[in-house]
Amino acid sequence: MTGRNPDSPGVIAHPLLIFGGTLALGLLLHFLFPNHPFPSLPARLLGGILLIGGVALGKWGETVMRSAGTNVNPRDPTTSIVVEGPFRFSRNPLYLSVLLDYLGVALLVNALWPLILLPPLCVVIQWGVIKREERYLEAKFGEPYRAYTLRVRRWI
């Protein structure tokens, strides 16, 4: 069975695949053409903090979404607008968490290439995932979603 689910945002690919693929490419480039842009110890300390913070934020956001009874996978239908937990501060705490994880790994390895790939990655996530999700949520939930977007920022 092929085809796109009509009750989904139609993201271009699963965000974890986009983040993971970009990170893998950056780490491969680092392996081939190593460049350590920062002093090792501070980079590793900051990287560890970002990675732990990203994992914690992601788990919190996922738990809140499941408690609200909606799907976590962006390819599945959204059943409700979640406004509790980290969604009080960010409309995209799960993507923010994966971004923190990405930065954490890049700093732990002290690799320049994943950092160079970060701006194009953010453009792809913004246009290929977030904008599609926002259109979908506005079409599905209307004014309650529009009011939420006025109260809560997209990232932080």
- Which pLDDT score is estimated for 6? 77
List per-block mean pLDDT (blocks of 10 residues) for the chain, which spans 156 residues.
Answer: 72 97 98 98 98 98 97 93 97 98 98 98 97 96 97 93
Whole-angstrom distance, CA of residue 151 vs CA of residue 143:
12
- Which pLDDT score is estimated for 3? 56
How many helices (H) does the chain have, and how many strands (E)? 7, 0
- CA-to-CA dists, residue 57 to 27, 69, 72, 88, angstroms: 24, 19, 14, 13
- Which pLDDT score is estimated for 156? 86
Do residues 26 and 106 make contact, with C-beta atoms less than 8 angstroms apart? yes
Whole-angstrom distance, CA of residue 149 vs CA of residue 156:
12
Token pair listed for 9 = 């945002």
- Which pLDDT score is estimated for 1? 44
